[in-house]
Structure 1
Amino acid sequence: MTYDHSYVEDFAPAAGVLPPRAWLDDDSARVSLTGDWSFRLSPSVADAPDDLKDPDTSGWDTISVPGHWQLQGYGAPAYTNVVYPFPLEPPFVPTDNPTGDYVRTVTVPADFAGSRIVLRFEGVDSRFALHVNGELVGWSSGSRLPSEFDLTNLVTPGQEARVAVRVHQWSTGSYVEDQDMWWLSGIFREVNLLALKPTAPTDVFVHAAYDGGAGTLKVDSDVAGTVVVPELGLEFATGEQTAVAQVEPWSAESPKLYDGVVRTDGGEVRIRIGFRTVAIVDGVFTVNGNRVLFNGVNRHEVHPDRGRALTEQDMLDDVLIMKRAGINAVRTSHYPPHPHFLDLCDLHGLYVVDECDLETHGFGYEPQAPDLPNPVMDERFKPDLELRMRRMVERDKNHPSIVLWSLGNECGMGDNLKAMYAVAKELDPSRPVHYERDTHAEFVDIYSQMYTSPEDVAKIGEDPTSYRGLPFILCEYGHAMGNGPGGLLDYRELFEKYPRCQGGFIWEFIDHGLRKSEDGQEFYAYGGDFGESIHDGNFVCDGLLFPDRTPSPGMLEYVKVIEPLRIVADGNGVVIGNRYEVLDTSHLSFRYVVEVQGEQVGGGELSVPPIAPGESASVELPVQEFAGQAEAWVTVIAELTDGTAWAEAGHRVAWGQVRLDEPAGRSTTAGVGTAGTAPTDGVAGVHGITVGGVTNARLDVWRAPTDNDAIPGVAEAWREAGVHRVQHRVVSATTHETGWKVVTRTAPPALQWGLLSTWVWSRLEDGLHLDLTVKPEGQFPATLPRLGVTFELPKVDGVEWFGAGPNEAYVDTRSAAAVGKYSATVAQLQTPYVRPQENGHRIDTRWAVLTGAEGTLRIEAAPDLFGLTVRDWTSADLENAKHTIDVKPATTYVTLDLAQAGIGSNSCGPALADKYKLHTAAASLSVKFS
């Protein structure tokens, strides 16, 4: 008999599965099927043998569950952002449909007798059929949702059972799982064999509300029993609502949970209760009556080695990183996460937008043809989509951290979405519902947009009646691809100005680079690195964290922008503003540090009275004795007084820096001493100007395009203007009383515009002074990537500098940069973006000392501050590299920027704001070399 694979292309979501229910912490017996399974991969459904009734697995391989087969040596990952990697002709999928068979035996414990025996899969991609002891039990899809099968009549307690699972890479379900991520297949979440006693609860719904100090609690259970909450002295029947006179509410800032238990004759369910009420009041989203400002991130489940098969430690790592960063919310883009992650959000305090396992981006937002509607407007998909919503809400309904349900992502509009909204409201009317593509706010409770410009955010904030007056969030903004995102401070100011504009979620939390090695060198791979014919390149690497969960400069910038205190100058002191939702500042300790020219000269504890949420206090600083000194700065730091579950005592929560003196017209020479002798010769050559130890100095107007530059219209326009291939001509070279004057023209071939530069080099007792003036001429481009001086040095090992740091910063990513004295190796100055690009710029440098085997070179602002970049390769090397291993250290190249364009997030966001563009205009720089 030929095996029937028709279910692979069935519009139905499943067959033979049990109704969805809550994910419970109960005392039912269970056997974990985590570990090694026998495995066989067939290249297509047609090639999959008809032997699952009793397969001989003696010649099969072994694979780990949970896991993806592509990451265990079978097939290859593939990445697309929008397009499907197969033809659009639902319900059909390619004949070449890799099919993996998993087989293992499990001994059913004898004490399972008398129980309903259930096999539960937490996640399988994309569709699978289950066979037990040779019998087909059923099949299911919905990759990031659980599926349960009743095996009671198929297995015998005390005996072995043979479990066979046939998993298909592609199915009709794949049409609604077009999320922006790697296509990866297999049993990637846990599998458990459960014994459910007939008199034990198997589904529980906790309803815990809060209002003005009091709470109400009701617990529904499919088996009647008793609810006990020892800390509150409560004991009452399931199904009854109980008033609680005094209760501490749950919020992201103060995630109080009460332990309780539901008891029946047959068993217990442990519950964690968070009293909180979500409401929309006068167009403002509130939790427990307090306005919420979402300082959030979009989080995919990903690990560079395991893909979406995360461990509990991986999930804890993510939550702790978020909490320590001041992130208070997470959108589970674009599917429900592992339920343990939600437990951690409950425990540590994160607001969650729980998103259904649905995206159909590759169809576009409107029907492409009358016979090819988007699945959300295709009646044939309605049962699947309704069930996906039901499965998510039922599974996750008991998590206080979940404050919004989300229907899915980027599916256009259709009646199936309205049906999903109705399902959510039927099951749980207590939570609002989100969906971004409901552009007219017809059937959502929150109005949402993606990548809206600050100007348009302001328009929404100024018009409280637009979009039915609903609260407004940016479900995605600040696209963190490569070097970026920039301009985050502009958004924060709007979120704080307009009550209706309630923050948003950075896209996204972590790069999805997969670890790969070539010729013994390890790097992170992205789209196209596994031979995909259709892919979206490094668009999969757009996170605030690098694939190994190291924070990027973009993450450090976000941490500073969203910190819960605002510390700004106020006469002889500072104003400290508390932007917490519910916490005052009594859990924080304050101290200050005074530095002059980067050297600490004072500091101590700072007495700050408790500041209530939303309030501010002026605090005088005991630093008047330093006020007259040049480059005197005081940094005020707020730290945790005591350790928490997510950070140790002393963890920095916020900081602010205030300059005590007026900016001087000229920085002083205090700092590291100089070495070497004054130059005695100067040469204007073909490649640049060589003076003393400064070799081949030339005007530089190009940077290795960032991901935000690389979109059409930005770097493309610069290339059309020839900025990337300018040539240099010496117009004249003369001497003057103390040095040389060189005039150069920097211009692209085939075009008539150029930059006329006058370089005046003057000998000093201890070095050399450069006065550089630049004037554009002809039909020059409106903007430039950068304007600076690049020169070469023998290999430099270390750099010390006084200026902004310690991390890279640009004109629109400088919030996290503090003025101070720093040091680093040249390697440490580089940021290892998965796709190499412009990086490492230190803005507002006062002086820098570069040290190598051949001596030191000091560069000092005289008086102009400059941007400093030091690296062991050229911009062209960076531009031509695909991965970090492609750039090889050689000569040291130093760039002193007069200015450089901002970063923005234009790779998937608004254009760079005009105020951050580098407009082509006359400019000058004065620096001293010694």
Structure 2
Amino acid sequence: MSLRTSTAYVEDVSPGSGVLPPRAWYASSDATSLSLNGSWRFRLSDTADAEDDSFAARGYDAGDWAQVTVPGHWVLQGHGSPAYTNHLYPFPVDPPRVPTENPTGDHLRLFGLPADWPADGAAVLRFDGVESCARVWLNGTELGEFKGSRLPHEFAVGHLLEAGDNVLAVRVHQWSSGSYLEDQDQWWLPGIFRDVTLLHRPAGSVRDFFVHASYDHVSGTGTLRVDSDVAGRVTVADLGIDTATGEPVTVPAEPWTAETPRLYDAVLATPGERVPLRIGFRTVELSDGLIKVNGRPLLFKGVNRHEWHPERGRALDLATMREDVTLMKRHNVNAVRTSHYPPHPAFLDLCDEYGLWVIDECDLETHGFTEQGWRDNPVDDDRWTPALLDRAARTVERDKNHPSVVIWSLGNEAGTGRGLTAMAEWIHGRDGSRLVHYEGDHDCRDTDVYSRMYADHAEVERIGRGLDGGPRRRRALPFILCEYAHAMGNGPGGLLDYQRLFEAHDRLQGGFVWEWIDHGIAHPELGYAYGGDFGEELHDGNFVCDGLLFPDRRPSPGLLEYRKVIEPVAITGDGTAGTVRITNRYDFADLSALSFSWSYEVEGEAVDLGTLPVPALAPGESAEVELPAVPAGAPAGEAHWTVRAVLASDTAWAPQDHVVAWGQLAVSERRVPHVAATARPAHGNGGISLGPGVFDARTGALRAIGEVPVTGLRLDVWRAPTDNDDGAAWQSDLRPGPLWRELGLHRMRHRLDAVEAGEDALTVRTRVAPAARDLGLSTVYRWTSDGDRLRLTVSVTPDGDWTVPLPRLGIRFGLAAADAVRWYGGGPGEAYPDTRSASRIARRQSTVDDLQTPYVRPQENGARIDVRWAELGGLRVEGDPAFFLTARRWTTEHLDAAAHLTDLVPGDTVWVNLDHAHHGIGSQSCGPGPLPRYRLRAEPAEFSFVLSASGTG
């Protein structure tokens, strides 16, 4: 067989041949089905023309072939390697052609029909996802081929099935013309990665159906009509409905929303089949310039979700999908954008069941054409329009019966063009019950929503105020940030500031954080691998690790921050006023599903607690609720009220008492530590003693506090840059991380100017500065003591022209031994100036190891904010003012040099940072940097610490 004959379809712009028209997906009916998932025989070739098609014939001996698991990706099963690019195509851009050097996987599956497989009727072979294309044979007969990796394709096969062994053969090429449409900032992972199923289709069975279930919020009624290609009846027992297909019926019903996901079990019965349905009544509309469901505007508190598992890639099982949904619900997420393709269909069943708003996105992105100014972009080339329309149809037809899907998205970062217009027109014509979204259409010619990525706070506010200008149609549409708050590494920062804008302006209907999970691949030597770890020619490094979950699905500090920022109940007030203000921020639900409690805390410890009666406030309502009297006999000290809203009973996604929201109200201020300067510096044995402190007589360096050795105490301004500090390459003139390195802040030098032992203080004067620069930080350390404790006051004065912010400002020192850490202050997790919403004041304890945050690429992490005092390694530290605490078993320099967590080897010293201030985090790895108020300017500063022996090891 010639090369042209065997591989021509790979470069053909058509979506394929031989496949059945798209239709609605449903998980089960009373018709027989057979899963073909499992172990398949597999052969990998380096090129598209390396093998002929004889393997598809009956009797072919594949006994020496390898085996792979389907669903799965062959590159994650020991055959070839994965590759990651953000937007660059990893092959020459010459559409629709792809290289002959095209890894090709031949798959074979022998199967027999079950004994109860019906002898009559048709059968359909269904593939739910194959990357990037597939050519299919059954029992030696070619069925056809298809493209559209994350879309379903079916073949009619009933006439080819045999009673004995059946041979299913599938050839999969890594690259095809379809790859030009799937440049979606993810790992390139070829294979049959979703389910393969054989479905019996008895005579009279339904091929396709469309559930129309609207809700009238004025009358409280739902109207149901189910259109089916085969006439039948629809029954909904709970509503007393028994009606013919195609006939509308209106009944009193409860609406479906993401907050109250009421589903009604129903059955569609045709002469040959009974199909179970789950019906949710809801109406989506664009009204008064807003996205409304059931008459009320939505506020999306969403995430973008790529499908991912660190061992299986995009081959997800139901348990993993359910874990994603329950994690979203537990963290107050109410919406998902299925970036940038339709998810496994079972995921949308879970969104229906648990309650999530969904923007369902088509399997389309041509981002790599930016490299040539969008020349030859397929979405503006009429030859590609049939393929684009096929992708739109397969998305809409598969998912049209899900109440959770409220918006269709044409795709992502594909420029603009006639093909997108054709897709939008087709979708509007096929399904007028939902809105259409696309981020790249900034004039909103084809869309119902004005959507942007990574607009900064100032621009979002202008849009909210209607000051953004632009075409008249756009100005009349609601605005969403379909991507914002790039969650790469430490961060994102500024979430609260965005949320306040969303809540202040009706037109701003929320956003979707990029993204849900880090795409690290489990690796035996590296922990988790990212771009470049597999020898890729082109790659974008750890840009693929930009999620709110770590690869193993542990929540990151970013997700905990987001959960707090988007809480559906606001708990605010003045702790001295005797009341707390409760505001319902749900869009639909009242507060009857929640119960409230209070605790009164002094110096971080609860001294009393109880329940708090709160009315079942309607959405948007607020109430001032009286707090109890301050508990009699409560000890003196800094005090707080902490009020929590928890689930009053078990739900499908969390148990009773799960915390939904909390607020902390200050009652009294902390007592600032005071040390009277009564001890005098004394010389002896080559050193200087002052209270419990021992200092080097020549340098003034602290050597010990009591029996605790201390090394290397000095001013520190460097932090291992975060992904957001380093910023994206296109922000080259703004990224603080590279500017810090250029200035030399990672290699500061310390000059000793004077050691002055006065009557009641030891003063050490220094200048801290980078090599090759004429600027620096004049730094004075002033030590005093009352005999038992040391007070260190650090005064910093910048000199020279400082035009960049500082990474941090504080002191660093080493302890010979430390493990347990106790502190009173913010926590439980890390926090920085613009990521501190989830930090609550309390007494806490940890180990040094557990203070670390395991970002896939090591970087600054683990700081606890607002720390009043801390104990570790035999020392007690009190701050004036409160400080940031960080402790690690490696230096910042080692952290900075590490590429993977496995590069961090614990040393014999625990390095402690006590920071007066930090530069904010922002989300400049793709979005904006920290807001001005979170930038750490080089300005005069003074801060103090009180140090003493604690007995804590």
Match of 2:497 in 1: 490
Amino acid at match of 2:503: E
1:907 aligns with 2:925: yes
CA positional deviation for 1:114: 2.2
1:299 aligns with 2:305: yes
CA positional deviation for 1:52: 2.6
Match of 1:672 in 2: none
Distance in 1 of aligned mates of 2:902 and 2:290: 49
Of 475-484 and 762-771, deviating more is 762-771
Match of 1:14 in 2: 16
Amino acid at match of 1:162: V
Q: How many corresponding residue pairs?
A: 911
Distance in 2 of aligned mates of 1:325 and 1:94: 45
| Correspondence list, 1:324-363, <5 A | 324-363=330-369
1:820 aligns with 2:842: yes
CA contact (8 A) 2:466 2:475 kept: no
Distance in 2 of aligned mates of 1:668 and 1:29: 81
Distance in 2 of aligned mates of 1:129 and 1:706: 45
Distance in 2 of aligned mates of 1:733 and 1:435: 65
| Correspondence list, 1:456-475, <5 A | 456-463=459-466, 467-475=474-482
Selected match of 2:382 from 360, 379, 382: 379
Amino acid at match of 2:791: H
Amino acid at match of 1:358: L
> For 1:605-656, what per-residue CA distance to the aligned partner results, in whole angstroms no more than 9, with x for missing partners?
1111221110001111114357994310110011101101111111100000
CA positional deviation for 1:880: 0.5
1:43 aligns with 2:46: yes
Amino acid at match of 1:800: R
> For 1:66-91, what per-residue CA distance to the aligned partner results, in whole angstroms no more than 9, with x for missing partners?
10000100000100001000010011
Distance 1:185 1:392, change over 3 A: same
SS of the residue corresponding to residue 708 of structure 1 reads helix
CA contact (8 A) 1:366 1:374 kept: no
CA positional deviation for 1:115: 1.2
CA positional deviation for 1:525: 0.6
CA positional deviation for 1:806: 1.0
Selected match of 1:808 from 823, 827, 830: 830
Selected match of 2:885 from 868, 872, 891: 868
Distance in 2 of aligned mates of 1:702 and 1:317: 38
CA contact (8 A) 2:648 2:657 kept: yes
1:764 aligns with 2:786: yes
CA contact (8 A) 2:6 2:49 kept: no
> For 1:474-512, what per-residue CA distance to the aligned partner results, in whole angstroms no more than 9, with x for missing partners?
000010000000110001111111011000100000000
Match of 1:683 in 2: 696
CA contact (8 A) 2:700 2:764 kept: no
CA contact (8 A) 1:295 1:328 kept: yes
CA contact (8 A) 2:598 2:644 kept: yes
Match of 1:203 in 2: 208
Match of 1:673 in 2: none
Distance in 2 of aligned mates of 1:141 and 1:193: 20
1:708 aligns with 2:724: yes
SS of the residue corresponding to residue 832 of structure 2 reads coil
CA positional deviation for 1:153: 2.5
1:388 aligns with 2:391: yes
Match of 1:452 in 2: 455
CA contact (8 A) 1:739 1:762 kept: yes
SS of the residue corresponding to residue 412 of structure 1 reads coil
CA positional deviation for 1:167: 0.5
Distance in 2 of aligned mates of 1:328 and 1:737: 64
> For 1:843-865, what per-residue CA distance to the aligned partner results, in whole angstroms no more than 9, with x for missing partners?
111000003xxxx100012x321
CA positional deviation for 1:667: 8.0
Distance 1:569 1:208, change over 3 A: same
Distance in 2 of aligned mates of 1:904 and 1:458: 17
Of 50-59 and 230-239, deviating more is 50-59
Distance 1:913 1:687, change over 3 A: farther
| Correspondence list, 1:423-462, <5 A | 423-462=426-465
SS of the residue corresponding to residue 660 of structure 1 reads strand
Match of 2:856 in 1: 834
Match of 1:215 in 2: 222
> For 1:565-584, what per-residue CA distance to the aligned partner results, in whole angstroms no more than 9, with x for missing partners?
11011421210100011111
CA contact (8 A) 1:366 1:412 kept: no
| Correspondence list, 1:534-683, <5 A | 534-570=538-574, 571-625=577-631, 629-662=636-669, 664-666=671-673, 678-683=691-696
Distance in 1 of aligned mates of 2:701 and 2:134: 65
Distance in 1 of aligned mates of 2:592 and 2:142: 61
CA positional deviation for 1:59: 1.0
1:511 aligns with 2:513: no
Match of 2:184 in 1: 179
| Correspondence list, 1:43-192, <5 A | 43-54=46-57, 55-109=60-114, 111-156=117-162, 158-192=163-197
Distance 1:596 1:622, change over 3 A: same
CA positional deviation for 1:595: 1.1
Amino acid at match of 1:808: E
> For 1:226-279, what per-residue CA distance to the aligned partner results, in whole angstroms no more than 9, with x for missing partners?
1111110011110111111x1000000000000111111111111110000001
CA contact (8 A) 1:687 1:728 kept: no
Amino acid at match of 1:40: R
CA positional deviation for 1:691: 4.8
Distance in 2 of aligned mates of 1:791 and 1:720: 25
CA contact (8 A) 2:639 2:669 kept: no
CA positional deviation for 1:423: 1.5
Match of 2:425 in 1: 422
What 5-or-longer segments of structure 2 have no aligned partner? 677-688, 949-953
Amino acid at match of 1:207: H
Distance in 1 of aligned mates of 2:672 and 2:594: 38
Distance in 2 of aligned mates of 1:680 and 1:643: 56
Amino acid at match of 2:506: P
> For 1:705-738, what per-residue CA distance to the aligned partner results, in whole angstroms no more than 9, with x for missing partners?
0000112331111222221111001100010123
Percentage of identical aligned residues: 53
Match of 1:531 in 2: 535
Match of 2:951 in 1: none
> For 1:388-443, what per-residue CA distance to the aligned partner results, in whole angstroms no more than 9, with x for missing partners?
00000000000000000000000111110000101211211110000000011111
SS of the residue corresponding to residue 909 of structure 1 reads coil
What 5-or-longer segments of structure 1 have no aligned partner? 670-675
Amino acid at match of 2:231: A
Match of 1:321 in 2: 327
CA contact (8 A) 1:479 1:906 kept: yes
SS of the residue corresponding to residue 210 of structure 1 reads strand
Distance in 2 of aligned mates of 1:180 and 1:52: 34
CA positional deviation for 1:764: 2.2
Distance in 1 of aligned mates of 2:894 and 2:672: 37
CA contact (8 A) 1:109 1:159 kept: no
CA contact (8 A) 1:407 1:420 kept: yes
Match of 2:940 in 1: 922
1:411 aligns with 2:417: no
Match of 2:682 in 1: none
CA contact (8 A) 1:666 1:864 kept: no
CA positional deviation for 1:663: 5.0
CA contact (8 A) 1:116 1:150 kept: yes
1:740 aligns with 2:762: yes
Distance in 2 of aligned mates of 1:406 and 1:686: 65
Distance 1:682 1:739, change over 3 A: farther
Distance 1:736 1:300, change over 3 A: same
> For 1:340-396, what per-residue CA distance to the aligned partner results, in whole angstroms no more than 9, with x for missing partners?
00000000000000000000000018745xxx4211111121110110000000000
Distance in 1 of aligned mates of 2:462 and 2:408: 26
Distance in 1 of aligned mates of 2:894 and 2:701: 19
CA positional deviation for 1:688: 5.5
Selected match of 1:896 from 905, 914, 935: 914
Normalising by the residue count of structure 2, what TM-score does the alignment of the two structures yield? 0.94
Normalising by the residue count of structure 1, what TM-score does the alignment of the two structures yield? 0.96
